[in-house]
Structure 1
Amino acid sequence: MDVSESSNFQRIRAESTGTFAAIASIDKVARLYSFTAVPGSDLIVNVGLSTQPILSPWRSRALIIGPVAVLLCGALVVFAVKLGKELRRRALAEAELAQLATTDGLTGLANRRRFDEVLEREWRRSVRTGTPLSLMVLDADHFKRVNDRYGHAIGDEMLKALAAAVNRCARRPGDLPARIGGEEFSVILPDTAEEGALFLAEKLRSELASSSIPLATGAIPACTVSIGVSTSHAEAESAIALCEAADRAVYIAKRAGRDRVEYVPISRQSIPLSFTPDLPGE
């Protein structure tokens, strides 16, 4: 049979040596051709092996490996999705725990731990930048009498009402309202001088003095508050010094008759007072 005109032979003749796979013109079988020209003659040595015995083992392994690889890829995708969900769930749980660790359970305000952290941070920033830092501390007047007369459930409602008013007072993102004791609250006011802090304190005191707590049997007046204010213009030796000055201002307000705002500058924080502070709730 003359194959000189076939495309396979024309390729062999043109390339002289090499390897390629093609369909044989004689038997129409897919073959792997390997050929080379004999130097010094017109002869070409060519071997054409069927690809079936060559590729059959590979195809058999591919039929096994392919599905296994698909299953493994699918399992990895499922694992990645589940891992992502678990990591997101864990992140949310950790964020919730962190929130609970720094939040007062009754009022929803920041707790004492959070208050201490933020006050220290803002004091350091005030010292570094030279900006004023004001602190407002307020204590409910005669709160123990409320508990004794109406019960602790009503006392809790009173504390929630106080917390809501304090929270409304702290409107800026940097302000921090906090419950730092039983009936004691505080507001950290960064970048706020005496005038601004005193204005907010008087506004809060006035609002609480005219508010009431609704009950099933009728409303009762909310507690009045004694508010102490102090401001540091980077001269406070520590955040504790600012807190002590504000506490001292609260005691002065209590001594002066309660339901009032008092201001104590940092320089007066070491002046002793000639009175005994109220017992909790008084």
Structure 2
Amino acid sequence: MAWVETLINGALLGGLYGLLGIGLALVFGVMRVVNIAHGEFMVLSAFFSVFLVGMFPSIHPLLLLIPVVATSFVVGWLYQMLIVNRVARQPDPLAPLLLTFGISIILRNLMVELFGADVRSVQLGELSRASLELLGLNIGIMPLLTLLLAVLLFLTLQWILKRTTFGRVIRATADRRDIVRLFGIKPDRVYNYVMGLSLALGAIGGVLLAVRSSFTPFSGAERLLIAFEVVVLGGIGSFWGALVGGIALGMAQLAGLKFDPNAGLLYAHLLFFIMLLIRPAGIVSNRT
């Protein structure tokens, strides 16, 4: 039963990892741009949530997630409009890669200057420690809620992209940005929405990960690595693949910790490396 409980908790952790990767997958799927600063933006959202919790201690931290997500959307919109759009249209893929890498360094040092290098976390009180017993298994309530939220967000994103006019515009822009101009659609404006949505989704994952573990201004690289592995492991271009990849990484991490308490993310990285050799296209190789 102990191993079953470990795998279940790993799957719950994987839902959170899926949230870390979905924003990165969205930007790459639409713009073919790898946003290296994605991890720093997630950490910045976590710092913002800590600031809001200190400012409004009477409000539950989960409710403060709403202004954090809204602010992240606006930041993403401005980030794309003022910075990334200047290089996103260039045929050289290194231009946006180097630009976003530079932005990540600036954000990391800016957070050190503003918040210091102390370890922080978002406290939820009793909710973070609460659990329920099901068939002899102890399952954390907060990880379960996180997985349910991840599935809900994936379903919502899938519905938006498949069933709404805005989603069809995004998919058309991703396929042929030159053709959509003939219909009066401005690709740069679509990209603004996509980056805003990406950072909003990343903010949810970043704050929820800050609830589960501590973070510093230097945690962005670790978050980005997890997000990148989730996207590649699940299958580039597949949103549901990102969720499956996240669950696989979460289960590998907790199973590894069962063998070696000092392993950390080692076994999750090993799973990524092995799957990259066996199935480079990812678990879900087709675009959805």
TM-score over 0.5 (shorter chain): no
Q: Which is higher, the Rg of structure 1 or of structure 2?
A: 1
Q: Under a length normalisation based on structure 2, what TM-score does the superposition of the two structures give?
A: 0.28
Bigger share in helix: 2
Q: Under a length normalisation based on structure 1, what TM-score does the superposition of the two structures give?
A: 0.28
- Give the number of the structure with larger relative contact order, counting CA–CA contacts within 8 Å between residues 6 or more apart: 2
